[in-house]
Every structure is written in structure tokens, then in C-alpha cells.
């Protein structure tokens, strides 16, 4: 009898995971409709996944926050396509990021979105780790300011430059990209720097083996 109950629980958990990770609605995922599904799988919400602390030093870790309903935010660390840690919080503040990093050995490189809370935590917890700006977030930030269809020649040129960032494959291509960006800064300046030209420092963009480059932040000159 107990074995049958265990098999029933396993089937319920399988349906729950299929619904959670798939595209079907609750009414489509199993017999009995959505109400039956919710009643039979309600216990699944109480399962808390456990990530084993292995002490492994990863070559690269990706870190980002996901905002959910009711004021919750989940900070997540991913390595080699797998979640290696998470931390619940209300906002992406430094203390929350530090709590997540405490259980993870400092990797050789970390990919981040550029948020100030995470950057501050990294300087304290993983000071020797190399930082790579997430290229998706870079392009998203550019799109926020320029829109998909900039109206000015300067805006259209800058958008073309930003789109080229994810296509860099070699160190030579990365160096050429820096030159193009610095040339744009020389011609148009940066409205956020009160007229001072903004220059990307040499070596702040480096192509990684196998594809995308690492990026640093542009710094005002003068």
C-alpha cells in the first residue's frame, strides 16, 4: 500500500514539474482539469530544492536577480548551465549578494548586469575575480536610451556599434570595436558626462576563446 502511495506521489511530482517547466496549462497537463491538478500537486510547492556545497572553483559564474510577485526577488548564481546557489531578498542589495557568495568559492570570472549592489559585494567577497558585463544587459541598456529606431545619426551609429558587440570573435576584432566606439565618443561626446568625451580604456574589451568578448565600463577622460 505504501509503495502505491509512493508511486502516486512520484506521478504527481512528475506532472507538477512538467507543468512548471513546460507550456501546457494546468487543465491540459493531466486528467481531471485544472482544479484537480492544483489539489493533487499542492504539496509540491513545499519542496525546497537543495544545492550541495561542493567547494568547486568554477571558471565562470553568471549572477542575476529575478523579481517575482509580492515583493520577492531571487538572486541566482549559475555555472555550466546549472544553478549553484540562490538567495531570497526584497531587492538586489549588497548584503543579499554577499549572503549568496559566502557559500560559493570565488570563480575566475563572473558575468553580471552592472548593478551597484552586486558590484559592491564582488569587491568585498571576490576581489580577485574578473568581471564581465552581461552583453544582453549592455544591449538592453542601450535600447532603453536609444529605442529600436533612434532618430539622430549619432543614435543610429551608436546602436550599430552596440549590436556589433556580440559578434566579436577575436582580440583583433575587439580592439577594432574599441577604436570605433572611441571614435564615436570623439565625434559626439556623452550627454551624461557634461560634454566630456568618454573613452573605453585599452584592454577593457577582450575576446574570449570561442566567441563573445569581455567588456569593461567606459570611463570619462580629462
61-88: per-residue pLDDT in tens?
999 999 988 889 999 999 999 999 999 9
Q: Residue 14: what pLDDT?
A: 93
Which among 106, 133, 160 is the end of a domain? 133
In a shared domain, residues 147 and 208: yes
At residue 44 the predicted structure's pLDDT band, cuts being 50, 70 and 90, is: very high
Per the model's pLDDT, the better-predicted residue between 215 and 143 turns out to be 143
* 100: in domain: yes
Q: Where in the sequence is the domain holding 6, given as residue range(s)?
A: 2-46
- Domains of the chain: total: 3
Contacts by residues 1-8 (CB-CB < 8 Å, ≥ 24 positions apart): none
Is the sign of the CA dihedral 97, 135, 106, 61 positive or negative?
positive
Q: What is the mean pLDDT of residues 10-28?
A: 91
Which among 75, 101, 133 is the end of a domain? 133
In a shared domain, residues 186 and 211: yes
Question: Which whole-number Å values give the CA distances from 152 to 94, 106, 183, 199, in the listed order?
Answer: 38, 44, 17, 21
* 14: in domain: yes
Q: Residue 207: what pLDDT?
A: 45
In a shared domain, residues 119 and 139: no
Q: Residue 45: what pLDDT?
A: 92
Per the model's pLDDT, the better-predicted residue between 196 and 219 turns out to be 196
Is the sign of the CA dihedral 56, 203, 205, 132 positive or negative?
positive
Task: CATH number of the domain at 128, please.
Answer: 3.30.420.10
In a shared domain, residues 187 and 119: no
Amino acid at each position: 500500500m505504501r509503495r502505491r502511495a509512493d508511486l502516486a506521489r512520484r506521478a504527481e511530482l512528475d506532472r507538477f514539474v512538467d507543468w512548471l517547466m513546460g507550456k501546457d496549462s494546468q487543465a491540459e497537463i493531466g486528467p481531471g482539469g485544472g482544479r484537480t491538478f492544483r489539489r493533487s500537486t499542492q504539496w509540491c510547492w513545499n519542496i525546497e530544492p537543495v544545492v550541495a556545497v561542493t567547494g568547486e572553483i568554477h571558471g565562470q559564474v553568471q549572477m542575476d536577480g529575478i523579481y517575482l510577485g509580492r515583493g520577492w526577488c531571487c538572486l541566482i548564481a549559475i555555472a555550466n548551465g546549472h544553478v549553484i546557489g540562490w538567495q531570497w531578498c526584497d531587492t538586489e542589495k549588497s548584503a543579499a549578494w554577499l549572503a549568496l557568495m559566502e557559500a560559493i568559492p570565488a570563480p575566475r570570472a563572473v558575468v553580471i548586469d552592472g548593478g551597484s549592489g552586486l558590484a559592491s559585494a564582488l569587491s568585498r567577497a571576490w576581489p580577485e575575480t574578473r568581471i564581465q558585463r552581461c552583453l544582453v544587459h549592455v544591449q538592453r541598456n542601450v535600447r532603453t536610451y536609444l529605442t529600436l529606431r533612434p532618430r539622430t545619426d549619432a543614435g543610429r551609429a551608436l546602436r550599430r556599434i552596440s549590436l556589433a558587440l556580440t559578434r566579436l570573435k577575436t582580440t583583433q576584432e575587439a580592439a577594432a570595436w574599441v577604436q570605433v566606439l572611441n571614435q564615436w565618443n570623439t565625434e559626439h561626446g556623452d550627454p551624461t558626462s557634461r560634454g566630456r568625451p568618454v573613452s573605453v580604456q585599452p584592454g577593457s574589451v577582450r575576446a574570449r576563446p570561442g566567441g563573445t568578448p569581455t567588456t569593461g565600463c567606459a570611463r570619462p577622460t580629462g
